[in-house]
Amino acid sequence: MKFIVSTFCFLICCNLLQAQDAVGTNEQGDPPFNATNPYVHDPVMAKDGDTYYVFGTGVGISVMSSKDLKTWKKEPPVFNTVPEWTKEALPGFGNHIWAPDIMYYQGLYHLFYSCNAMPGKPHAAIGHATTPTLNPKGKNFKWTDHGKIVQSVMGRDTWQAIDANAIVDESGTPWLAFGSFWDGIKLVKLKQDMSGLVWPQEWHTLARRPSTQKPYDYELTDSQIEAAFLFKKGEYYYLFVSLDMCCRGVNSDYKIAVGRSKQITGPYLNRVGFDMLEGNSTVIAVGDGKTFAALGHNSVYTIDGKDYLFAHGYSIPNKGESKLIITEIIWDKDGWPVIDLDKRLTQ
């Protein structure tokens, strides 16, 4: 995700989460909540009991819940105030938090979230918080913030510490994928309790799009790849990414692409066997030009024996407003995901 922009004007628009044109907004900058066709950006999902919870980019991290994945209820944000650790790590950061990831692991729901004090630059960090339950009315409900996991620094790093995605491999080892633009998607090994990076640190680069820029030229003219999500299916790890540009309403050209590997650390290859490290991938979802101008930043889950893709799409009928997309994934005979937007659960 990322509200990646190169002018102050665009920065302000992105901080308002692209409430385009004449669409009304609330005090957080989001459009009025629509229970059956909700606004969301960068959706991820976890289930607690009989309730599905979707987390997304927003002030304090946006949260909504549903019993059936069709009708949604707005829930309180995760953070009412800016995470304390950002005051030292990212001076000037507000509470507009990007691209969370959520997973249940070792008796807790683990939330990884992205903070960027300078959109479009690698002045960013990923935080980590946990709670025993996602139900706001549960007696044990309480988010505990554990602070920073990893940070990217201007002039040192050619990747952004945003768009986290946690996964546990077949041996029980937790990993964190993240990254955006320039040198692409990173993978690091986490401690067993997910509280930080293992020592000595183990880093891998999974995918990138070759750039014509100099190493510390942070313009956003090429190398557009982000929003990594790893999903294990059969003998393969599938690496979903988003290509090109988000956050421009009906002018967005975001799209979802994928590669796969038998090892979590790669190499990830596209459908014809070319490496994602060399800018290759297989595009599986684009805007249809009728309902959605573009779509991206997806996550994938198995629900009742079926696999589903969650993403946001820039709605043409809603003047570019970012809407929740949930649609079943069909796997072809060669084991590649097929997306049909006409069969989505959401409007």
Is the pLDDT higher at 202 or at 346?
A: 202
Average pLDDT over residues 86-112: 96
Domain covering 8-343 in this structure, CATH number: 2.115.10.20
| CA distances to 100, 197, 338 from 96, in Å | 11, 25, 33
Per the residue annotation, which of 42, 101, 157, 183 is the catalytic one? 42
pLDDT surpassing 80 at residue 231: yes
Mean pLDDT of the chain: 90
First to last CA, the chain: 22
- The amino acid that residue 192 corresponds to is Q
Per the residue annotation, which of 157, 183, 226, 275 is the catalytic one? 226
Tens-digit pLDDT profile for residues 13-48:
344 333 333 334 444 556 789 999 999 999 999 999
Residue 51 burial (CB count, 10 A) = 15
Q: 0.85 cut: is pTM over it?
A: yes
| Token code pair at residue 101 | 């990831």
pLDDT surpassing 90 at residue 215: no
Catalytic residue status for 226: yes
| Confidence at residue 41, expressed as pLDDT on a 0 to 100 scale | 97
| Confidence at residue 29, expressed as pLDDT on a 0 to 100 scale | 59
**What is d(CA 291, CA 324) in angstroms, rounded to the nearest whole number?**
12
State the DSSP code for 37: S
| Domain-wise residue ranges, the chain | 8-343
Catalytic residue status for 42: yes
| Confidence at residue 113, expressed as pLDDT on a 0 to 100 scale | 98
| CA distances to 43, 73, 100, 256, 298 from 62, in Å | 9, 11, 9, 22, 16
